[in-house]
C-alpha cells in the first residue's frame, strides 16, 4: 500500500549507515490518500498485478482515461540500458505534458512530487500500487534501498516520453496544472 509523507532536501540522508537503516532526521508527516490527491492531484489505485494484462479494474481505468498504449520498464542495472544515466535523469526534477501512469509489477521505489505550496511529498510505492501523476506536475523518481522496480507504463494513443526540467513554468501543461491546483483538484 502506498505511503506518502513530507520531506525536504536537507532531510535526505547522505550517510551510508543511515541510508541502510532508512532513518529520517525528523519523524515523517504522513498524508492520507485524500490529502495526497488534494495537495497534488495524484490519483492512486490498488491493482492486482498477477494477471494485470487482463485485470478488469485496470481495463476499466484504461477505457475511462483513454489509455491505449503500454510498455514495461525494468529498472535494474543488468536490464536497463544506460542505467546510471537514466536514474540520474529520473531524479532530476521535471514535468511531463501528459499524465504519468505507473503500475508497480515488482519491487519498490519513491516518487517525489511538489505539492501546491511547492513542498516535497515522497510517495513510496510497491507491487500493486498504481499512481497517476497529473500532467504539468513537478516530480522526480528514485529507487529505494532494494534497488529494483519493474513498472507497467500506460499512455494515451501515442506514447510520449518528453519531459521538461524545472523551471518550465511557462509550459501550457504547467500553467493548466497550477490553475487546477488553485481551483482545487
Give the annotated binding-site residues for Ni(2+). Answer: 94, 96, 100, 139
Cell numbers placing 177 = 496544472
Instruction: Calculate the alpha carbon distances from 57 to 24, 45, 60 in Å.
Output: 36, 9, 5
DSSP class of 183 = H
CA dist 51 and 124 (Å) reads 23
Nearest-angstrom CA–CA distance, 108 and 129: 9
Q: Are 185 and 113 in contact (CB under 8 A)?
A: no
**Binding-site residues from annotation for Fe(2+):** 94, 96, 100, 139
**Where is the binding site, in residues?**
94, 96, 100, 139
At 182, which helix (H) or strand (E)? Answer: helix 172-183
The CA R_g of the chain, rounded to the nearest whole Å, is 16
Amino acid at each position: 500500500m502506498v505511503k506518502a509523507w513530507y520531506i525536504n532536501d536537507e532531510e535526505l540522508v547522505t550517510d551510508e549507515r543511515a541510508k541502510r537503516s532508512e532513518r529520517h532526521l525528523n519523524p515523517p508527516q504522513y498524508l492520507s490518500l485524500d490529502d495526497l490527491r488534494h495537495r497534488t492531484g495524484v490519483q492512486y489505485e490498488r491493482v492486482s498485478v498477477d494477471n494485470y494484462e487482463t485485470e478488469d479494474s485496470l481495463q476499466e481505468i484504461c477505457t475511462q482515461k483513454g489509455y491505449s498504449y503500454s510498455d514495461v520498464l525494468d529498472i535494474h542495472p543488468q536490464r536497463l540500458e544506460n542505467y546510471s544515466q537514466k536514474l540520474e535523469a529520473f531524479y532530476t526534477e521535471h514535468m511531463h505534458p501528459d499524465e504519468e501512469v505507473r503500475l508497480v509489477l515488482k519491487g519498490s521505489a519513491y516518487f517525489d512530487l511538489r505539492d501546491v505550496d511547492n513542498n516535497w511529498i515522497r510517495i513510496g510505492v510497491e507491487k500493486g500500487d498504481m499512481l497517476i501523476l497529473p500532467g504539468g506536475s513537478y516530480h522526480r523518481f528514485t529507487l529505494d534501498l532494494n534497488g529494483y522496480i519493474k513498472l507497467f507504463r500506460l499512455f494515451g494513443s501515442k506514447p510520449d516520453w518528453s519531459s521538461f526540467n524545472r523551471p518550465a513554468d511557462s509550459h501550457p501543461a504547467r500553467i493548466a496544472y497550477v490553475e487546477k491546483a488553485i481551483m482545487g483538484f
